[in-house]
A and B are shown apart, each in its own frame.
Chain A
């Protein structure tokens, strides 16, 4: 079983839709949490850090539930440019542990 689990998708949604991704992690000692996005054959790009209090950055909202070891990402008003793979990432000391990613395809 992977340390970080995500639904691989794909999620196919129309422009303007709201879409939510979920992720669970198994190591309760995990210290930091992030969402990255990765376009095909490109580097992972930091989308946002995730805090227990929840945080929002424009159309993106992330939540962390430490008790349930659960992380979520909500994307509102989806744009075509949001099409990518979204990686749930958990940090233990130095290293980042990546989920397998959830593929999002936004269509016109």
Chain B
């Protein structure tokens, strides 16, 4: 069965650079979520989109923005990168809102040097 696709899988950036992470949800899933998982920590919710509209917002820095496109894929844009942004970034998708079962992609490992 098709799963959530994320690209790139690994990304190395320098401080103050920008990064764009992409997420392609499971076909027919209309809701996308972004999570950040730092080393040794549990995943933290950043932001979600339902039917191309922002649905909920968590601990997402102002330097980050995201959107969901007409084909339901989503992009997380990260600017003025800091060393502390180094983490695994997971995208998840679900059919419907309000935490119907969420399925996670393999993640993008971002390293900021």
B43 partner residues in chain A, CB cutoff 8 A: 44, 96, 98
The number of residue pairs between A and B whose CB atoms lie closer than 8 Å in the complex comes to: 63
Interchain CB contact under 8 A, B42 and A100: yes
5 additional contacts (CB under 8 A) given A94-B48, A98-B43, A101-B42? A41-B88, A94-B55, A96-B33, A96-B99, A99-B42
Interchain CB contact under 8 A, B48 and A95: yes
A75 located at the interface, meaning its Cβ lies under 8 Å from any Cβ of chain B in the complex: no
Please encode chain B, from 31 to 61, with 1 for each CB lying within 8 Å of some chain A CB and 0 for all others: 1010100000111110010100001101000
**10 A-B interface contacts by CB (under 8 A):** A44-B90, A45-B104, A94-B45, A94-B98, A95-B99, A96-B33, A96-B35, A96-B43, A98-B44, A100-B41
Known: A97-B45, A99-B42. A91 touches B99 (CB 8 A): yes
A100 partner residues in chain B, CB cutoff 8 A: 41-42
Closest to B105 in A: A43
Closest to B107 in A: A43
B44 partner residues in chain A, CB cutoff 8 A: 98
Within the complex, the shortest CB–CB distance from B68 to chain A, in Å, comes to 13
B42 partner residues in chain A, CB cutoff 8 A: 87, 98-101
- A107 CA / B67 CA spacing, docked (Å): 45
A46 located at the interface, meaning its Cβ lies under 8 Å from any Cβ of chain B in the complex: yes
Within the complex, the shortest CB–CB distance from A87 to chain B, in Å, comes to 7
- A91 CA / B65 CA spacing, docked (Å): 23
